[in-house]
Amino acid sequence: MRKSTFLIFAGGLLLASLAWVILTPVLFPFAQSADKAVAAHPGFQAPGFSLETPAGDIVSLSDHNGQPVLVFLWASWCPICKGAMPDLETVYQDYADQGFEILAVDMAFQDTLSTAIEYFQTEAYSYTMLIDRDGQMAQDYQMHGLPTSILVGPDGTVLDVTIGSGMSAGYLSVQLDQVFAIAEGE
Amino acid sequence: MFPIIDIGPLAFQAGGMIQILSLLFGLWFTLRFANNMGTNGDAIENNLLLGLLMGIVGARLGFLLQNPSIMADNPLSIISFTPTMLDIPFGLLAGALVIYVSFQRSHLPLWPTLDTLSPLVILLFAGAHLANFATGNNFGLPTTLPWGVSLWNATRHPVQIYALILSAALLIWLLIRTRFLKYTNNHHSGLIFTQTLAGLALITVVTRALVADKAPLLGLDLIQAIAWIVLLASLGLLYWFQYGKPNHIRVFLSLGSNRNPREQTYKASQDIAKFAKILNRSSLYETADIRPNHAGETYINRVLEVETDLSYPELIERTKAIESNHGRQLDDKEDVPMDIDILTYGNQVFVMPSGSAIPRQGLTKHRYVALPLAEIAPDFRHPATGTAIEDILKHLDEQEQPVQKITEVENGT
């Protein structure tokens, strides 16, 4: 390529791309696109749900407005879920008095509910077990694998979604420390 | 969105699996390129994998150092095989540092190594975007276009796929340009990497506009602004590489002759001095001709270190002219009045489809080249691999025909 051709090409490319960079905020205003929109993804509002406990009470996510909530999707046939649940219990014991709540939703539409309830009661977990009978809640949360852990902030915003074994006691408590630090700051 | 890939009874995190696959494919491309360019693929691969490992370890350590309570509660969490509890910026920093230090320690040259890594860089970039598509991260703005994808409660631009398609186009361009990683097809190290970098920066500038979550800074998107600066810098480098005038380039030339060799060698040195400043000349070295019908005949070789402002193509032209003035017929393999090989040209590393390659392969293949080179440049390192001349000599086959130093360098010749 001749020197002058290169200079024209490079200069044109730089100017056009600079114009694109400057026009981007004009053409595509930086709306906080996630504001108010509902989705199970960090930055969005957590999809609401009202589900039954094994005792037959109805619990809604909105009952816990103002509290951080861990929504934990699990099934009794899932060893990784059952591996994580004692960890959740440890963290729950530490943070429950600050208002932290865990809603462990059993995917009853693809689980044997009696086995799940028996497991949950035998292990004597002190957090709340809920039952998703028709899979609607799983669908709203775009559940792709178990366990799926969704940490919801006090304002209802999704803070973290972890699929698989990553929601350990250490990781969860670090996130809760941050949530409570921000809440205190406000 | 497909964050989990089920293969039989096994479930894989799609994001991680895509990243690993793109790393493996990229390494395969890079090793092929290294092999054809003559750079040290094994050292590059080993140092990269070491950097990757240390990056992952660093990311975990960084997270735990910032949250020491986890270690106190559960020391085993340091080795838990989960993709959480990672401080990504800290890990990137640690990995980059390890790679930098280990590349330095292996004496890998900067630009040829980066050229070799170009296909890997493109594949990692493409893999990151495909992984984001799988996990639904870095999602696009809402759109009414027919190819919009349904994600996070809206029909959105599949912006990760836009970037994937554009980086695939960049990879195809690289493969065509290098004839499937066989040639660098230019005379300057670093061109391929810089062009790759410019391409990736341009893709980022273009596609970032359609990403929903921007990083606002002074009314602009920070990532887009950084990408534009990278584009500016890489175009500047490209200009300098392609149109900068050669200035005091150090060149090693190997002279060889089997007809009146002493006389021819002295005369060729004088001819070379007309267009290049001779800095050093080796002694003459005599090598027996081992071809069956040449018993008793010898070659004489010498290596010159010169400094020139000629470009590589100009230099080739001049040396070919000297060869033919000395009566060399290129198709005559028996009678070689004068053969001048350009062993190195500055720090450049390139391979052209015409067959010319810098550094020349003979440098690491023949004792009658490496020995005189070592005499005048004992600290010499191979510009492509960083190998020291003493190690090159050690690896040369001891069985090759004996090479004998016959004269000390004489003043004024």
pTM: 0.92
Give the pLDDT band of residue B328 (cuts 50, 70, 90). Answer: confident
Question: Under an 8 A CB cutoff, do B224 and A24 touch?
Answer: yes
Q: Cα separation of A151 and B356, whole Å?
A: 61
Give the pLDDT band of residue B398 (cuts 50, 70, 90). Answer: low
Instruction: List residues bridging with A155 in a β-sheet.
Output: none
Structure tokens at B154: 């809206």
Give the pLDDT band of residue B332 (cuts 50, 70, 90). Answer: confident
Tell me the per-residue pLDDT of A35-52, one tens digit each, with 9 for 90 and over. Answer: 568 999 998 999 999 999
Question: Under an 8 A CB cutoff, do B84 and A166 touch?
Answer: yes
Question: Under an 8 A CB cutoff, do B11 and A145 touch?
Answer: yes
Tell me the per-residue pLDDT of B81-127, one tens digit each, with 9 for 90 and over. Answer: 777 889 999 999 999 999 999 999 999 999 999 999 999 999 999 99
Residues contacting B248, CB < 8 A, separation 6+: B307, B308, B309
Tell me the per-residue pLDDT of B228-266, one tens digit each, with 9 for 90 and over. Answer: 999 999 999 999 999 998 899 999 999 999 888 889 999
Instruction: List residues bridging with B287 in a β-sheet.
Output: B299, B403
Average pLDDT, chain B: 91
Q: Which residue in B74, B88, B151, B152 has the most chain A C-beta atoms within 10 A of its own C-beta, making it the best mutation to test that interface?
A: B152
CA dihedral (B157, B161, B163, B168) positive or negative: negative
Measure CB to CB from residue B239 to each of A6, A44, A162 and give the nearest one: A6
pLDDT at B413: 41
Q: What percent of chain B has pLDDT over 90?
A: 71
Phi-psi region of B25 (alpha: psi -120 to 50; beta: other; left: phi over 0): alpha
DSSP for B221-268 reads EHHHHHHHHHHHHHHHHHHHHHHSPP-SEEEEEEEEESSSHHHHHHHH
Give the burial string for B186-210 (b: 16+ CB within 10 Å, else e). Answer: bbbbbbbbbbbbbbbbbbbbbbbbb
The chain B residue lying nearest A22, using CA atoms, is B220
DSSP element (H, E) containing A94: helix A79-95
Instruction: Kindly report which listed range (A33-42, A61-70, A127-136) carries the lowest average pLDDT score.
Output: A33-42
Shortest alpha-carbon distance between residue A83 and chain B (Å): 13
Structure tokens at B313: 């193509």
Q: How many CB atoms lie within 10 A of CB A134?
A: 9
CB B285 within 8 A of CB B404: yes
Shortest alpha-carbon distance between residue A36 and chain B (Å): 11
Q: Widest CA span of chain A, in angstroms?
A: 80
pLDDT at B408: 58
Q: Widest CA span of chain B, in angstroms?
A: 86
Question: Under an 8 A CB cutoff, do B83 and A18 touch?
Answer: no
Give the pLDDT band of residue B412 (cuts 50, 70, 90). Answer: very low
The 8 Å CB, 24+ separation contacts for A55-60 are A59/A103, A59/A128, A59/A130
Q: Cα separation of B187 and B154, whole Å?
A: 50
For residues B68, B69, B73, B75, the Cα torsion angle rounded to the nearest 10 degrees is: -10
Instruction: Kindly report which listed range (A13-27, B19-33, B79-93) carries the lowest average pLDDT score.
Output: B79-93
Structure tokens at B146: 């027919």
Give the burial string for B163-180 (b: 16+ CB within 10 Å, else e). Answer: bbebbeebbeebeebbee
Q: Which runs of E-coded beta strand occur in B309-348?
A: 339-345
Cα–Cα separations (whole angstroms), residue A66 to A53, A152, A155, A159, B401: 21, 10, 6, 14, 86
pLDDT at B71: 76
Q: Cα angle at B275 between B260 and B185, to 5 degrees?
A: 95
The burial of B332, by beta-carbon neighbours within 10 Å (0-12 exposed, 13-18 middle, 19 or more buried), is given as exposed
Tell me the CB-side half-sphere exposure of residue B193, using CA atoms within 13 A. 20
Q: Cα separation of B81 and B83, whole Å?
A: 7
- Going by DSSP bridges, is the β-strand pair A101-106/A50-52 parallel, antiparallel, or unpaired? unpaired
ipTM tops 0.95: no
Shortest alpha-carbon distance between residue B144 and chain A (Å): 14
In chain B, residues with a C-beta closer than 8 Å to the C-beta of A73 are none
Give the burial string for A53-86 (b: 16+ CB within 10 Å, else e). Answer: ebeeeebebeebeebbbbbbbbbbebebbbebbe
Instruction: Kindly report which listed range (A7-11, B244-248, B398-402) carries the lowest average pLDDT score.
Output: B398-402
Tell me the per-residue pLDDT of B48-82, one tens digit each, with 9 for 90 and over. Answer: 999 999 999 999 999 988 888 787 777 777 777 77
pLDDT at B83: 78
In chain A, residues with a C-beta closer than 8 Å to the C-beta of B224 are 21, 24
Give the pLDDT band of residue B409 (cuts 50, 70, 90). Answer: low
CA dihedral (B19, B20, B26, B30) positive or negative: positive
Question: Three-state SS string across A100-166, please?
Answer: CEEEEEECHHHCCHHHHHHHHHHCCCCCEEEECCCCHHHHHCCCCCCCEEEEECCCCEEEEEEECCC
Instruction: Kindly report which listed range (B27-41, B82-96, B153-167) carries the lowest average pLDDT score.
Output: B82-96
Q: What percent of chain B has pLDDT over 70?
A: 97
Q: Is the pLDDT of residue A20 over 70?
A: yes
pLDDT at B411: 43
Alpha helices in B38-87 (DSSP H): 41-66, 68-73
Cα–Cα separations (whole angstroms), residue A28 to A37, A45, B205, B221: 18, 22, 14, 11
The chain A residue lying nearest B242, using CA atoms, is A3
Chain A to chain B Cβ contacts (< 8 Å): 121
- Going by DSSP bridges, is the β-strand pair A69-74/A148-152 parallel, antiparallel, or unpaired? antiparallel
Rounded to an integer, the average pLDDT of A120-138 is 96
Q: Which residue in B7, B133, B153 has the most chain A C-beta atoms within 10 A of its own C-beta, making it the best mutation to test that interface?
A: B153
Distance of CA B311 to the CA centre of its chain: 21
Shortest alpha-carbon distance between residue B115 and chain A (Å): 20
Q: What percent of chain A has pLDDT over 70?
A: 96
Average pLDDT, chain A: 92
Question: Under an 8 A CB cutoff, do A33 and B141 touch?
Answer: yes
